[in-house]
Amino acid sequence: MTQSQAPGAEPNQWSGLGHLERDLILTDEDFAQIRQLIYQRAGIVLAEHKREMVYSRLAKRLRHHGLTRFSDYLARLSRQPEAREWEAFTNALTTNLTAFFREMHHFPLLAEHIRKASGPVKVWSAAASTGEEPYSLAMTLLENLGARASEARVVATDIDTEALTRARAGVYPVEQVRKLEDERVRRFFQKGKGTHEGLARIRPEVSSLVEFLPMNLLAPQWPVKGPFDAIFCRNVMIYFDKETQARILQRFAPLLKPDGLLFAGHSENFSYISKVFRLRGQTVYTLA
């Protein structure tokens, strides 16, 4: 959910799982309860055809606890509403599909916007995943703000705590980084050597601009404070129902500066959900 993306953000990567030998018992009632729980905790509407994916991802948690029935695992969760296992349950059912400068057309718009901004620039990545988006935002700030970049900040939040741990480390396969322009690679990454061969690490001048925080968009209180020059919430909202989408958009509005920008994903359209925002360009919104 680039919040981390919900299951099914791209063509199904789990299509072959139906051929796995099932050694654990997942009943229709178990699957229905799992769908209800992930909706209640993360707002994710899990489709019927995601049963195989649910089996494969949660099976690791059952085996970790030495269980063979999903019903026993769910009963354990229900007995311990504050247990850390809820975090593992949620992490397992979110998908972190992202890339540096994904949906490239957004970044020139952001660059133009922040160059005109007065005061310290602040951007929120509301679905930070493993860090590629917030680091892309930080690079954009460094490329366009000059000396003002030292005062700029990127707040990066996600519901998936495991993804945030990887994001804070800022280490990525070289193959992933090579897709960027050579100048960006030289300026913003350190190439690994020895035991780190094949890896690249975000340079400190980039990571120092980013603050990572765990956050659930459905939580009654958010650990972020505006006003923001821009909010990136891309490829997440489509996995919420319209009521949840409208509620989140309503909460975004007071966190944006009056001329702030809200960036949505390529398959998301907020125009028919809320009157708080109006469409400015391709999946870019401003306050109405």
Any idea which residues carry the catalytic annotation? Answer: 57, 158
Q: Where are the beta strands (DSSP E) in the chain?
A: 122-125, 153-158, 171-173, 189-191, 199-202, 210-214, 228-232, 256-263, 277-281, 284-287
| Residues facing 201 on adjacent strands | 171, 190
CA 107 and chain centroid, separation: 17
Residues belonging to the chain? 288
Contact 95, 101 (CB under 8 A): no
Half-sphere exposure of 229 (CA within 13 A, CB side): 20
Q: Which residue type sits at 183?
A: E
Q: Which single residue is written with the structure tokens 């705590």?
A: 161
> 208 with 231: CB under 8 angstroms?
no
